[in-house]
């Protein structure tokens, strides 16, 4: 099977865009991300990754896939399995039918990732579009070109244990009822994302940013655990997925498209503003990284102040964006 592989900034939005294009829709990665209202922030101290709390800058895994239902009336089938054997048999059967199949996997066990890029993250999405011998033909959107993966390695990646264990998850579209995006659907997606970011929930959106700031502010500067937590936040922002700033840039690109699609030309100016906010997140990461690497003293209140400034900017941004799409 021929497959049009395109490089993307983030795995799930890239997979969704590539899969929908394969089925004949004109879909960019940024449009998929924006239609799913996937921009977010969450501080989840009760969920641990390598002993540290989850700090998320986008919606939960699978949210972008499921987010195609409202704007496109796209219905995906999700299947998980109890054993590697049944998972591989089902994947092979779908490939034999000519389907392109999405998978949730662990980055750590995918051999085509360079060793220094592998870590235990179980929500990496990719597409399988064929099989030759014992190798699966893979479109992994974070790579510039298609890759191959031996069946044993792919099985291990699909059935990795731990947080967000994929359990062999595969998915594919069963039907897509709408082939184009209506202006109202774009406006509704933006309004939904504004509600997420302005939600009265302590751990989510703008309030989540402030909650994390308050936690950091009280940490002792001279304890190794403090530097470890700050380093973890930077890693969650800049290395997992496309990062906190990267997701803001991706949503800004969506707003550029949305200006025409939603028939709201003013959205282009919001794209420029969100790009500037993304630059602020990058500045936050740089400051935190310098502390962690010992180039500056570890001063938790200074990090907290930068987060509060970003919270102020994002709150104003999403309140005004909400008004603009009414």
Which CATH number characterizes residue 105's domain?
A: 3.90.70.10
Token duo for residue 130: 């064929």
Are residues 209 and 117 located together in one domain of the fold? no
Task: Choose from 117-121, 124-128, 221-225, 232-236 the range with maximum mean pLDDT.
Answer: 124-128
Q: What is the pLDDT at residue 239?
A: 64
Measure the CA–CA gap between 37 and 28, rounded to whole angstroms: 14
User: Is residue 133, in this structure, part of any structural domain at all?
Assistant: yes
Structural domain for 119, as ranges? 11-176
| Complete DSSP assignment for 299-326 | -HHHHHHHHHHHHHHHHHHHHHHHHHT-
* pLDDT, the chain, mean: 94
Last residue of a domain, one of 146, 176, 206: 176
Q: How many other C-beta atoms are found inside a 10 Å radius of the C-beta of residue 323?
A: 10
pLDDT confidence bin for 49, thresholds 50/70/90: confident
Token duo for residue 324: 């603009």
Give tens-digit pLDDT for 3-19.
999 999 899 999 999 99
Are residues 265 and 247 located together in one domain of the fold? yes
Quote the distance between the C-alpha of residue 218 and its chain's center.
29
Are residues 24 and 168 located together in one domain of the fold? yes
Per cent of the chain over pLDDT 90 is 86
Token duo for residue 267: 């959205």
Are residues 272 and 291 located together in one domain of the fold? yes
Q: 75 - beta bridge partners?
A: 175
Sorted by sequence, the CB contacts under 8 Å of residue 286 that are 6+ apart come out as: none
In the predicted model, is pLDDT for residue 1 greater than 80?
no
Last residue of a domain, one of 176, 204, 230: 176
For the CA atoms of 310, 311, 313, 316, the dihedral, rounded to the nearest 10 degrees, stands at 170
Give tens-digit pLDDT for 132-162.
999 999 999 999 999 999 999 999 999 999 8
Write down the pTM of the prediction: 0.94
Are residues 162 and 223 located together in one domain of the fold? no
Give tens-digit pLDDT for 173-195.
999 999 999 999 999 999 999 99
Q: What is the pLDDT at residue 241?
A: 52
Mean pLDDT to the nearest integer, 14-34:
96
Residue with tokens 């290395």: 239
Are residues 213 and 110 located together in one domain of the fold? no
User: Is residue 5, in this structure, part of any structural domain at all?
Assistant: no
Last residue of a domain, one of 149, 176, 203: 176
Are residues 132 and 188 located together in one domain of the fold? no
């Amino acid at each position: 099977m021929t497959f049009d592989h395109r490089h993307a900034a983030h795995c799930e939005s890239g997979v969704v865009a590539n899969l929908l294009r394969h089925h004949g829709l004109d879909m960019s990665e940024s449009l998929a991300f924006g239609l799913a209202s996937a921009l977010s922030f969450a501080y989840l101290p009760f969920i641990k990754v390598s002993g540290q709390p989850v700090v998320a800058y986008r919606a939960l895994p699978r949210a972008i896939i499921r987010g195609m239902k409202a704007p496109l009336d796209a219905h995906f089938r999700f299947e998980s399995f109890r054993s590697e054997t049944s998972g591989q048999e089902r994947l092979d059967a779908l490939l034999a039918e000519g389907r392109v199949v999405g998978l949730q996997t662990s980055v750590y066990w995918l051999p085509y990732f360079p060793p220094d890029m592998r870590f235990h993250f179980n929500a990496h999405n990719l597409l399988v579009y064929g099989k030759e011998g014992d190798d699966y033909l893979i479109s992994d959107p974070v790579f510039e070109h298609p890759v191959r993966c031996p069946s044993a390695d792919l099985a291990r990646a699909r059935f990795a244990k731990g947080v967000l264990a994929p359990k062999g998850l595969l998915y594919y579209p069963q039907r897509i009822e709408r082939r184009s995006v209506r202006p109202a659907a774009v406006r509704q997606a933006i309004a939904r994302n504004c509600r997420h970011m302005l939600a009265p929930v302590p751990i989510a959106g703008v309030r989540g940013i402030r909650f994390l700031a308050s936690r950091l502010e009280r940490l002792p500067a001279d304890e190794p655990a403090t530097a470890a937590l700050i380093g973890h936040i930077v890693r969650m922002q800049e290395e997992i997925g496309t990062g906190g700033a990267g997701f803001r840039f991706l949503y800004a690109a969506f707003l550029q498209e949305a200006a025409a699609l939603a028939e709201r030309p003013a959205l282009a100016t919001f794209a420029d503003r969100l790009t500037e906010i993304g630059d602020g997140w990058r500045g936050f990461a740089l400051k935190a990284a310098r502390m962690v690497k010992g180039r500056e003293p570890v001063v938790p209140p200074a990090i907290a102040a930068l987060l509060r400034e970003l919270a102020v900017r994002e709150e104003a941004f999403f309140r005004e964006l909400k008004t603009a799409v009414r």
